[in-house]
Amino acid sequence: MRNSTPPAGASLWSAQAQMPAALAKRVTIVAGQGASVITADGAELLDAPAGLWHANVGHGREDIARVAYDQMRKLETYHVFGRFVNDVALSLADRVTALGPIPDAKIFWTSGGSDAVDLACKLARRHWQLEGRPDKRIILSRHNAYHGLHGFGTSIAGLDYNRDGYGTDSLIPETARIPTNDLAAAEAIITELGPEHIAAVVAEPVIGTGGVIAPATGYLEGLQRLARQHDILFIADEVVTGFGRTGTMFACERFGLEPDMVLMAKGITSGYAPLGGVLIGPRVWERYFNSDDAPILRHGITYSGHATACAVAHANLDILEREHLLRRSAELEGVLHHAIQPLADHPLVTAVRSGTGFLAGVQLNADVPGEAVVDACLDSGLLTRLIHNNTLHICPPFVVTDDEVSFIAKTIRVALDHITD
């Protein structure tokens, strides 16, 4: 029997956490404004990861909060199952499809990125069933890729530790990985597996959690070309890159891609409400819309097209447009690259990856205690975290100043020097 009273919040099981370590060094965020957050201890921290890649317009936006309040007073939400819809889900659908990289697209709303991954993979398999080609079931993804942690996201993860421990190599069978940036090797795997067995390939334009890895020149375009050549659906996972992170509304624009589906979440609301979606091209959606005996897609989420979340998304998009934040993101890409690249010369750094979008990864040597570097940054007013391969995560809100970007680089250098000493 326990004799001591557990600390406040001890009941929470944190995500992706080694819980004894997380509980011992928990950082509680209680407020945020602009590009910074405030801890329960009163410390102000520059939010280098923008939460989990999502706080594009910054924290504490009163105008977004008022939109949410007004929408809740009018109608908190109503589902979009069957013939019932709510007006905000409809208007946001028209707005986002007009902004997206797929002509004449439809959108299926979800509650977030992991939901979007599951829907897209299910839809890809269902597509080929209805095409009379049921053997096309394999979903390809890239090494180092992260696609959320629902059923399909776990199964197609390119980070092995996210797939391990569930009794099989792939929680949902018939998935496979292709190299991160080697197009010839990807083609060899497609040939080996047999294109007649492959339903879709899913790719992040810039790999995020896997270490902030930009595509090799021509890789994404080549992967799309291979998909078309072999009659494989091409799915762009823009959960991180969508809504301005690469200086364009979607990274597909930057790389000249026109996929069959685009996954989105995070930046569509800048984290002010949970919302995701799948943008779907005519090749996939037409059969579901164009005849009286059209099939039904047996998929749905209670909070798909949540009215308040959609109203928040409208407000977020208004801010992106009104404050020219896509243009600012494109400018900040160069500012960050210039500030962060000198860290590549530090003896504790393996690589610095930046210059393709307003995001970067500073990969530390394998023997460097990464959490100690994070702690030193926190002590100096910078919030960052570790992602794959001992990499510091940098993906600030679009509202940071040039000086704040310089502060990120300087603070990391001081932290590394402290570890060296």
| Boundary of a domain, candidates 288, 322, 356 | 322
The confidence score (pLDDT) of residue 3 equals: 54
Spatial contact of 243 and 249, defined as CB atoms under 8 Å apart? yes
Three-state secondary structure string covering 228-263: HHCCCEEEEECCCCCCCCCCCCCHHHHHCCCCCEEE
Closest CA to 243 of 54, 105, 396: 54
Query: Quick check: is 399 in a domain?
Result: yes
For residue 333, the cross-strand partners are: none
Of 322, 351, 369, the one marking the end of a domain is: 322
Q: Which of 322, 347, 376 is the last residue of a domain?
A: 322
* Residue 322 burial (10 A CB sphere; 0-12, 13-18, 19+): exposed
Which backbone phi and psi does 199 adopt, to 5 degrees? -85, -45
Query: Is 409 within the bounds of a domain?
Result: yes
Residues 281 and 328 in one domain: no
pLDDT for res 404: 98
Q: Is residue 395 part of a domain?
A: yes
Domain match, 172 and 145 both: yes
CA 399, 318, 249: angle at the middle one, nearest 5? 70
Q: How far is CA 32 from CA 60, 61, 309, 397, in A?
A: 6, 9, 20, 12
Is the pTM for the entire model greater than 0.85?
yes
Residue 383 domain-assigned?
yes
User: Tell me, what CATH number does 26's domain have?
Assistant: 3.90.1150.10
Task: Enumerate residue ranges in the chain where pLDDT < 70.
Answer: 1-4
Do 248 and 329 sit in the same domain of this protein? no
The string of pLDDT tens digits covering residues 102-113 is: 999 999 999 999
Q: Note whether residue 315 is domain-resident.
A: yes
CB-count burial class (<10 Å; 0-12, 13-18, 19+) for 104:
exposed
**Within a domain: 149:** yes
Residues 337, 314 share a domain: no
Task: Let me know whether 89 and 24 are in one domain.
Answer: no
How does pLDDT run across 173-231, given as a tens digit for each residue?
999 999 999 999 999 999 999 999 999 999 999 999 999 999 999 999 999 999 999 99
Q: How many domains does the chain have?
A: 2
Q: Which domain holds residue 276?
A: 65-322
Query: In this structure, what CATH number is given to the domain that contains residue 80?
Result: 3.40.640.10
